Chains A and B, each alone.
Chain A
Amino acid sequence: MDDKLTIGGREISSRLFIGTGKFPANSIIPDVIKMSGAQVVTTALRRIDFDSDEENMLKYIPKDCILMPNTSGARNAEEAVRIARIARASGCGNFIKIEVISDNRYLLPDNMETIRATEMLVREGFTVLPYINPDLMDARRLKDAGAAAVMPLGAPIGTNKGLRTREMVKILIHEIDIPVIVDAGIGKPSEACEAMEIGAAAVLVNTAIATAGDPVVMAEAFANAVMAGRKAFLSGTGPVKEYAEASSPLTGFLA
């Protein structure tokens, strides 16, 4: 089955994207990437130490991956744009995940600033993947601004609470014709699977893998779950019924 995801002109084989924060050591990241099968890997520019050999996160990300730096730490559109420019100038490529957070208590994304940053960065030729609160009107604005995908949160970042925004994400999937990637909040493989079953183009997972007892095995578990969910979506799950369907229907005599 040919089921490639295309973003920013790149064909992406794996629908599991992963993040590199919160791990007990950078040295396990290559194994995590390998077992997850992930091709798109996000890392905060603020964490990349270009001046160090040993501590430079980029050293642990295989060259055949698509590096998607993120603008973690940006408090407004202007800061996100500056971080994106630094990332590109430092050789991190053209993909950028916009993360604008002006609320430190819940780390919820600021959609308005995110839209502004997207407009500016698309004009500068970036492939922009904005992290948002799932809101249909904002998602449309982002699409119109030229975003390559939208990345609604499943639950507040780091909470592992699962796909709490399910109904809103479903609406985005139905209405927005650019890839909808569920980012943040996914805590278990079953929840990643659920997101894929309802038609998400991909999921991005970090905390759930990084803080697992065995991150490498958990990465593989997520890879399997994402594949299972995708296949279920493509094959079309049977409808859920409220009542059992009688084998001798009451209205059969009308036929």
Chain B
Amino acid sequence: MSFYERYLEYKNFDFEGFFNKVTDRDIVNIMNKDRLTELDFLMLLSEKAANYLEPLAQKAKKLTLQNFGKVIFLYTPMYLANYCVNQCVYCGFNITNSIKRRKLTLEEVEKEAKAISSTGLRHILILTGESRKESSVQYIKECVKILRKYFRSISIEVYPLEENEYVQLIDAGVDGITLYQEVYNEEKYKMLHLKGPKRNYLHRIDAPERACRASMRSVNIGALFGLHDWRTEAFYAGIHADYLQDKYTDVEISLSLPRIRPHCGSFMPDCKVEDRDLVQIMISYRLFMPRAGITISTRESERLRNNLIGLGVTKMSAASSTEVGGHSLENKSEGQFDISDKRNVEEMKEMIYSKGYQPVFKDWQAI
């Protein structure tokens, strides 16, 4: 069984008809439940539920506090390479974009690692574009070997791998994976991923499960909001997380809420996701999966990020760069997309403390 079969169960589901039938009483009942069903979760994503955003937010806050306490985990992304063979219309690394392509040498990896770890960060997320030639598993392993000297937790956000490749990377010192399906709607997925291996929807949707099978410690998934109707996309991402958590009980499953940002290229997203929509998604995730980590990156603005603390978010990136070499090198590449919140680690720390929360730099110890 693959999550794809769960996806198919809802393929012909009348989402619009379902949303139209949600009543005030439904939402109040859900608020009083401890364990939500999939359809409860779907109701929370309805327009009707938006009328109850404040009491739902209060419950989300309570659950987050109970499960995670007054802490926010910090990490930063580090781009190793931006070579990419895919043609995804919304991405700056699109093969048809004439941007400067670059890949860090191992010496440069060390330089970037030193610069990042000097800010106190102990968790790193390394990224590459999809190019098995330029960013091979072997290359990633060599980078991880260097990064282990500087960081206590190393996550990867790279192209979908095979199970044995995840095992190799875990053996090398990787403990987490981030992999967004981008778009769960299969037809829309095909429209946005024109060429390259990423066009293979199934191979991507099963990748988080392959990582779970390989015994990855933490698996972070998500939909890229703005590419398709957010209510159904958030629903699929949520039930995907729930499916994985049910099947792989010892893996830490978490969700990200990336929203599309301006980037190199001409594509403009046509499905607007307002701040209040993003908040509704986050609250719904929290009520559906009280124990799941929720990540908000620097794609979002300072103001929004400050206000999301306490609502459900447990993990934030800081001092991010989407450029290869962006943390320390002079001849860095162009970025994958524009960062919105440009604050450095000290500024983020200060903000988190001012909210009555503790910024946590280290939450894992490679064993």
The segment out of A2-10, A20-28, A125-133 that lies at the interface is A20-28
In the bound complex, residues from chain B placing their C-beta under 8 Å from that of A101 are 250
State whether the Cβ of B367 lies closer than 8 Å to any Cβ in chain A.
yes
Interface readout for A16-50 with B: 1 if CB under 8 Å, 0 if not? Answer: 00000111111000000000000000000111110
State whether the Cβ of A167 lies closer than 8 Å to any Cβ in chain B.
no
A104 in contact with B251 (CB, 8 Å) = yes
* Residues of chain A from 93 to 130 with CB closer than 8 A to chain B in the complex: 101-107
State whether the Cβ of B140 lies closer than 8 Å to any Cβ in chain A.
no
In the bound complex, residues from chain A placing their C-beta under 8 Å from that of B122 are 49, 51
Q: How far is the CB of B173 from chain A (nearest CB, A)?
A: 14
State whether the Cβ of B200 lies closer than 8 Å to any Cβ in chain A.
no
Interface readout for B121-157 with A: 1 if CB under 8 Å, 0 if not? Answer: 0100000000000000000000000000000100000
B70 in contact with A103 (CB, 8 Å) = no
B361 in contact with A24 (CB, 8 Å) = no
In the bound complex, residues from chain B placing their C-beta under 8 Å from that of A104 are 245, 249-253, 291
Q: Given the complex of chains A and B, what is the CA–CA distance between A106 and B250 in angstroms?
A: 11
B367 in contact with A23 (CB, 8 Å) = no
State whether the Cβ of A211 lies closer than 8 Å to any Cβ in chain B.
yes
Q: Given the complex of chains A and B, what is the CA–CA distance between A25 and B352 in angstroms?
A: 10
Q: How far is the CB of B219 from chain A (nearest CB, A)?
A: 11
Q: Given the complex of chains A and B, what is the CA–CA distance between A22 and B71 in angstroms?
A: 6
- Per DSSP, are chain B's interface residues mostly helix, strand or loop, or mixed? loop
B356 in contact with A24 (CB, 8 Å) = yes
State whether the Cβ of B214 lies closer than 8 Å to any Cβ in chain A.
no
Q: How far is the CB of B349 from chain A (nearest CB, A)?
A: 10
In the bound complex, residues from chain B placing their C-beta under 8 Å from that of A75 are 217, 250
A45 in contact with B365 (CB, 8 Å) = yes
Checking B70, B250, B252, B362 against A210 with a beta-carbon cut-off of 8 angstroms, the contacting residue is B70
Q: Given the complex of chains A and B, what is the CA–CA distance between A245 and B65 in angstroms?
A: 47
In the bound complex, residues from chain A placing their C-beta under 8 Å from that of B356 are 24
Q: How far is the CB of A97 from chain B (nearest CB, A)?
A: 15
In the bound complex, residues from chain B placing their C-beta under 8 Å from that of A73 are 217, 364-365
Task: Knowing A22-B70, A49-B361, A102-B250 are in contact, say whether A86-B65 is a contact too (CB < 8 A).
Answer: no
State whether the Cβ of A160 lies closer than 8 Å to any Cβ in chain B.
yes
State whether the Cβ of A82 lies closer than 8 Å to any Cβ in chain B.
yes
State whether the Cβ of B67 lies closer than 8 Å to any Cβ in chain A.
yes
State whether the Cβ of B120 lies closer than 8 Å to any Cβ in chain A.
yes
Checking A22, A24, A54, A105 against B249 with a beta-carbon cut-off of 8 angstroms, the contacting residue is A105
Checking B71, B120, B250 against A103 with a beta-carbon cut-off of 8 angstroms, the contacting residue is B250
A103 in contact with B249 (CB, 8 Å) = yes
B362 in contact with A25 (CB, 8 Å) = no
Task: Knowing A49-B122, A103-B250 are in contact, say whether A55-B362 is a contact too (CB < 8 A).
Answer: yes
In the bound complex, residues from chain B placing their C-beta under 8 Å from that of A55 are 120, 361-362
Q: Given the complex of chains A and B, what is the CA–CA distance between A192 and B122 in angstroms?
A: 36
Q: Given the complex of chains A and B, what is the CA–CA distance between A48 and B360 in angstroms?
A: 10
B70 in contact with A107 (CB, 8 Å) = no
B69 in contact with A46 (CB, 8 Å) = no
Residue of A nearest to B365 (CB): A46
A22 in contact with B69 (CB, 8 Å) = yes
A46 in contact with B363 (CB, 8 Å) = yes
In the bound complex, residues from chain B placing their C-beta under 8 Å from that of A211 are 65-66, 69-70
Q: Given the complex of chains A and B, what is the CA–CA distance between A45 and B249 in angstroms?
A: 22
Complex A-B: 18 CB contacts under 8 Å: A22-B68, A22-B71, A23-B71, A24-B356, A45-B365, A48-B362, A49-B152, A49-B361, A55-B361, A55-B362, A73-B364, A83-B365, A86-B365, A102-B249, A104-B253, A107-B291, A158-B66, A211-B65
Q: A23-B358, A73-B217, A107-B291 are known; give 10 further A-B pairs, CB within 8 A.
A: A22-B71, A49-B122, A49-B361, A49-B362, A54-B120, A103-B249, A104-B251, A104-B252, A160-B66, A211-B69
